[in-house]
Chains A and B, each alone.
Chain A
Amino acid sequence: MDAALELKQIHKIFEAGTVNENHVLKGIDFTVQKGDFITVIGGNGAGKSTFLNSIAGSFPVDEGTILLDGQDITHTPAYERAAHISRVFQDAKMGTATRLTIEENLAVAWNRGKKRRFAWGIKEAQRKVFKEELEKLDLGLEDRLKMEVGLLSGGQRQALTLLMATLVDPKLLLLDEHTAALDPKTSQMVLDLTDRIVQEKQLTTLMITHNMEHAIQYGNRLIMMNNGQIVVDVSGDEKQQLTVPDLLALFKQNSGNAVMEDALLLS
C-alpha cells in the first residue's frame, strides 16, 4: 500500500513568544495509507482541528514536513492544496456560498484545483452530472438547481457540501465534525451519506467526531489525540472490536485524566 499522506514531526505554535503562546501540535508523526477512512477523537483543545487545518494549509506549520502522495506540500498555499484536498466544516454555512444557486455552488466545486477561465461557468453537460449526483442524495435537490443555497436547511446544505467536496475525487477528504451541528436524525443521514460516498469512491478520509460510537462504527482506523499528540492509533480487527468503555479507558490511560468531558460521554 502507498502512503497517501505523511506527516513528519509537525509542530504548530500559536502566538509564539507571547504570554498567549500555545503549543498546539507537538511533533506529530503520522502516515495515512491510500483508502484509509480514519476517525479522529479527542477532548477539546487536543489539537484535532489544528491538525486538520495544518494538513489543509490554513496556516503554515512551524516545524516538520507534510507529504501528500509523496509530494512535499509543506509550503504550498491552501488554494493550491485544495486541488487535492477537500474539506467539510462543522458549520453548514461555511461549506457553501449562500447567495449562489445550487448549480453555481456545484460549478465552483467542479473547478476545484483547475484554472478558472472566461469559459461559460455552467455547461449543459455539467448540469446533467449535477442532476445525477443530486439525485443520489435523495433530497429532491435535483429539481432545484437554480435555487439559492441560502434557502436550504442545515442538513441539506451539509449534504450539498459533501457532494461538492467529492464531486471531483480528492486525494484526501477532511471532515471536521461535519455533523456536530445537525439534529440527530439529519446527522445520521449525512453520516450515512458520507460513509456511502467514501466507500463508493474509495476516498482517503480523515473524520473528526465527538461521538465515540461513530468513531468506532465508521472507518477502518481510529486515532485519539491528546495535548497535541496522537496517543492512540488502532486499526483493522482491533478497531472493529472496540467498545465505548474501551475507548473511555484508553482515554483515561493516555491523558491521565479521569474526568471526561460531558460532550464526549454524552454523545
Chain B
Amino acid sequence: MDLLMSSVSQGLLWSIMAIGVYLTYRILDVADLTAEGSFPLGAAICTSLIVNGVAPWLATMAAVIGGMAAGFISGYLHTKWNVPALLSGIITMTGLYSINLRIMGQANLTLLGEETLIRTVQSWGLTSTNAVLVVGLLAAAGVILLLHLFFHTEIGLAIRSTGDNNEMSEANGIRIHAMKIIGFMIGNGLISMSGALLAQNNGYADISMGIGTIVIGLASIIIGEVFFRHVTLAKRLATIVVGSVIYRLLLLLVLEMNVNPQDLKLFSAILLALALGLPAIQSRLPKNKKQRTRKKAKAKGGALSWMQR
C-alpha cells in the first residue's frame, strides 16, 4: 500500500514534466529534447540554492525561471536560426550538461538535513508520503488551472493557433516566432519545476537524472490520450496527470516482478515505442471486415479530433 501511494505521489510530481513536454510536443507540434537538460537543470538549481540557504519555494521558483531560460535558447535556435527542433533541443541539452555540473559543483548533490517543500508540508503533521501527495496535487492542480486560463487568453490562443497552422497564424498577424519561443519557455519552465520537486522528494540531485525524461513524458501523454479521447484542454492536461500516475504504477508492477532496476529504461523505451506504434501495428494486423469498413469511414471523414492524433 505504501509503495502504491508513493508511486501515485511520485506520478503527480512527474506529471508536471509531462505537461511541459505536452506543450511543445502537442500544442506547438515540435519534438523538443531540451527536456533532457532542463529537468536536471531544475533539480540542480533548486538543490544548490537550498544547500546555500535559500527557502525551498524560492529555490523552486528559481528552477522554473532557469528552465524558461533553457527553453528560450532552444526556441530561439529553432525559430530565428532555423535549426531543426530536434537539433536545437539536443544542442541545448548538451550544453546544459556542463552548466548543470557547474551549478551543482559535483555530479551529485544531497539535500540531507536540508529544508525542502516536502518537509515543510510534512511539518504540518503529515506522513512523508502524504506530504508528497499534497505537494504533487497542489502543484499539478495549480499548473493545470494556470495553463487553462493562459491558453484562453489572446496570447494563449495565438500560441495554439501557431502550433496548429503557421501560415494562417502569420496571415492573421501573429508573431509566430515569438509565440513558439514563449511555448518553449513555458514548457521547459514546467519541466524544470518538476525536476526541482523531484529532487526535493528524492533528497538529492544527480547529473544523470535527466536521461529518459522525454520518453517518460511522452509515455505519460500517450497513456492519457489512449484512455481518454476527445477532451478539452484542461481535461487533457488532467489526463496527462493520470497517465503519469499510471506510468509510475506500471513501473512499480515491473519492479515487483523482480526486474533489475537497470532494465527499467529499456522497459520505458519499449512501452513508448509500442504506444506510439500501436496505430501502425493495428492497421497491419489482419482484422475482420467490419472493423476495416469502420476505419475506412473514419478515414473518409478525415476529421479525427486533434486529441486523437
Are B176 and A150 touching (Cβ within 8 A)? no
- Distance in angstroms from B283 CB to nearest chain A CB is 21
Identify the closest chain A residue to B230 (Cβ).
A148
- Decide if A99 touches B154 in the complex (CB within 8 Å): no
Query: Is the CB–CB distance between A109 and B172 below 8 Å?
Result: yes
Q: Provide the bound-state CA to CA distance between A132 and B305, in Å.
A: 27
- Cβ contact of A122, chosen from B150, B152, B160, B175, cutoff 8 A: B152
Q: Are A97 and B173 neighbours in the complex by a CB distance under 8 Å? A: no
CA distance A225 to B173 in the complex (A): 28
User: Complex: how many Å from CA A96 to CA B168?
Assistant: 6
Cα A93 to Cα B164 with chains together (Å): 10
Chain B: interface size category: 20 to 34
Flag whether A95 is at the interface (Cβ < 8 A): yes
Residue of A nearest to B164 (CB): A97
- The answer to whether A117 has its CB under 8 Å from any CB of chain B is yes
**Would you call the interface of chain B mostly helix, strand, loop, or mixed?**
helix
Residues of A within 8 A of B208 (CB): none
Contact A98 B165 (CB under 8 A): yes
B157 at the interface (CB under 8 A from A): yes
The answer for the CA separation of A118 and B304 in the assembled complex, in Å, is: 30
Q: How distant is the Cα of A97 from the Cα of B169 in the complex, in angstroms?
A: 8
Q: Which residue of the partner chain, among A56, A79, A86, A118, contacts B153 with CB atoms under 8 Å?
A: A118
Closest to B26 in A: A99
Q: Bound complex: CA of A98 vs CA of B170, how far in Å? A: 15
Q: Is there a chain A Cβ closer than 8 Å to B55's Cβ? A: no
Check if B155 sits within 8 Å of A79, measured CB to CB: no
Q: Which of B154, B164, B171 contacts A56 (CB 8 A)?
A: B171
Contact with B along A113-133 (1 / 0, CB 8 A): 110111111100000000000
With an 8 A cutoff between CB atoms, is A107 at the interface? yes
Complex partner residue of B173 from A80, A94, A96, A150, CB under 8 angstroms: A80
Enumerate chain B residues within 8 angstroms of A151, measured Cβ to Cβ: 303, 305
Answer whether residue B167 sits at the interface, using C-beta atoms and an 8 A cutoff: yes
Given contacts A80-B173, A82-B171, A113-B173, contact A119 B154 (CB under 8 A): yes
The answer to whether A108 has its CB under 8 Å from any CB of chain B is yes
Chain A residue at minimum C-beta to C-beta distance from B158: A116
Determine whether the beta carbon of B305 is less than 8 Å from that of A78: no
- When the two chains form their complex, are residues A121 and B165 in contact, meaning their CB atoms are under 8 A apart? no
Instruction: Select B168's contact among A94, A107, A116, A121, beta carbons within 8 Å.
Output: A94
Q: How far is the CB of B297 from chain A (nearest CB, A)?
A: 14
Q: Report if A118-B306 is in contact (Cβ < 8 Å); known contacts: A95-B168, A113-B173.
A: no
CB distance from B15 to the nearest CB of A (A): 22
Instruction: Please determine whether B160 and A87 come into contact, CB atoms closer than 8 angstroms.
Output: no
- Point out the residues of chain B lying under 8 angstroms from A119, CB to CB: 153-154
**B303: which A residues are within 8 A, CB to CB?**
150-151
Q: How far is the CA of A93 from the CA of B153 in the complex (A)?
A: 24
> CB-CB < 8 A to A41: which residues of B?
none
Report A-chain residues with C-beta under 8 Å of the C-beta of B173.
Answer: 79-80, 82-83, 111-114
A27 smallest CB distance to B (angstroms):
27
Q: How far apart are the CA atoms of A117 and B182 in the complex, in Å?
A: 13
Interface presence of B203 (CB below 8 A): no
Across the two chains, which residue of chain A brings its CB closest to B29? A99
Q: A78-B170, A82-B171, A148-B306 are in contact. Are A104 and B157 (CB under 8 A)?
A: yes
Produce 1/0 per residue, A155-167, CB < 8 A to B: 0000000001000
Within the complex, the shortest CB–CB distance from A53 to chain B, in Å, comes to 11
In the bound complex, residues from chain A placing their C-beta under 8 Å from that of B158 are: 108, 111, 116
Q: Is the CB of B170 within 8 A of A79?
A: yes
Please indicate the chain B residues that have their CB under 8 angstroms from the CB of A118 in the complex.
150, 153-155
Would B167 and A94 count as touching, CB distance under 8 A?
yes
What's the Cα separation between A89 and B166 when bound, in Å?
13
State A80–B173 Cα separation when bound (angstroms). Answer: 6
Tell me the bound Cα distance from A114 to B169 in angstroms. 13
Closest to B176 in A: A79
Given contacts A100-B157, A116-B158, A117-B155, contact A150 B306 (CB under 8 A): yes
A74 to B301, CA, bound (A): 42
Chain A residues within an 8 Å CB radius of B304: 150
B172 touches A100 (CB 8 A): no
Residues of A near B176 (CB, < 8 A) are: 79
Nearest 6 A/B pairs, CB to CB: A82-B173, A99-B306, A97-B164, A116-B154, A121-B157, A97-B161
Q: Could you list 6 A-B pairs, sorted by A, with CB under 8 Å?
A: A80-B173, A82-B170, A96-B165, A104-B160, A118-B154, A121-B152
